[in-house]
Structure 1
Amino acid sequence: MDMNLKNIAYEVIKGKIIACEYRPNTFLSEAFLMQEIDASRTPIREALNKLEQEGFVQIIPKKGVVVTALSLNEVNMTFEARLLLEPYIIHHYMEFIDLHKIREIYSQTEHLVPGEEFYADFCRLDDTLHRLISSACSNKFLNESLIHIYDQNNRIRILAGKNIWQRHIEAAKEHLVLMDLILQGKKEEAAESITNHLIKSKTEAIRSLINEQMPIN
């Protein structure tokens, strides 16, 4: 039961951090989390220890738990890792990408309509597409790294995303081009497409976050 409660506490806290319900630099007390999750101190502490190992929180003795800051340096490192890994996966594992799921995402992306629901729908499809491409890689160490990177990327997207509506529309079009190249088996072109897509996304995310006065370090 304690293990189950630990897992529940871990998933709830992590989910709220990624969704920025617990924003960067926010202090979280054990008492608050116990009440929020309806769990005892032990599973909360075990969940926080795991989240600290993954870099989502920092446990400060006699002070409490703080949600890890998200700085421009972290944003740069996130995109640096993606620019190294995602084109590599296209080059070496593209034939293992699930084309049926690519077609499903393509169809949903085609039918995105700018408006109130566009932001949430685009973010969901963006996350699904990039995770699908990375899942074609059979190297578990790369997969584990990318899972963590995409979790951090969701924090970046939420903090920056609503300020860059036009970028989302352009990115959706870039997704369609990328998926079309994957469906055609054009490996070199697909790798170049995902590289250009990530560079543009990085540029716009940093511009938006600078406007929000995000710290450098």
Structure 2
Amino acid sequence: MEKSYSDFAKELGVSKQKLNYYVNDENKEKIFIKKGNKNYVTEFGQEYLYKKTKDKNEKKESEKKEKNFEVFFDSIKEKDKQIDKLHQLLDQQQRLSLQDKKLLEEYKTELSNLKALKMPEEELNIGIEQLKKELEKANDEIDQNQAKLAEKDKQIEKDEKINKEWSESNKELEKENESLKMELQKVQSKKWFQFWK
């Protein structure tokens, strides 16, 4: 059924000028028919213009999604770099913690050796006090390192959660994109006279 030019443009949600973009001298007679002072769009013209505007919109949507994918993948790469850096810091903190433990064992051994030498009580007390201070300092450093490790663990857990959410979001976007492609192929494979049945 023929439709007026303005009504058909409204139906597609585009301006009449936009529809004119797809009309040329070769197809003008097939697309339009003039009745009185009004232009009407033929059935062929309706199908032709519908397909052209839809293809354009789908192309824009596809380009937008591709751009979003690029931004998304860049974000994932950046997160991966941050996670690698956090792992390096965690390894460094673990090495420091092991060194501190080794130092504590050495202090304990030294203390035992001092006791075995039966040094004069005053000198022994001075040595013990000094060792206690060093042990306390070492313990404080261990506590600080453990607190830092706990913070790093929390950050890594948080980053992995974000990474997982992004991965799931990416899968959903890929499914949606695949679905749109299949729909487009279905529409393109139909003959124009089947389209209006």
**TM-score using structure 2 length:** 0.25
- Structure with more helix by fraction: 2
**TM-score using structure 1 length:** 0.23
> Structure with the greater relative contact order (CA < 8 A, sep ≥ 6): 1 or 2?
1
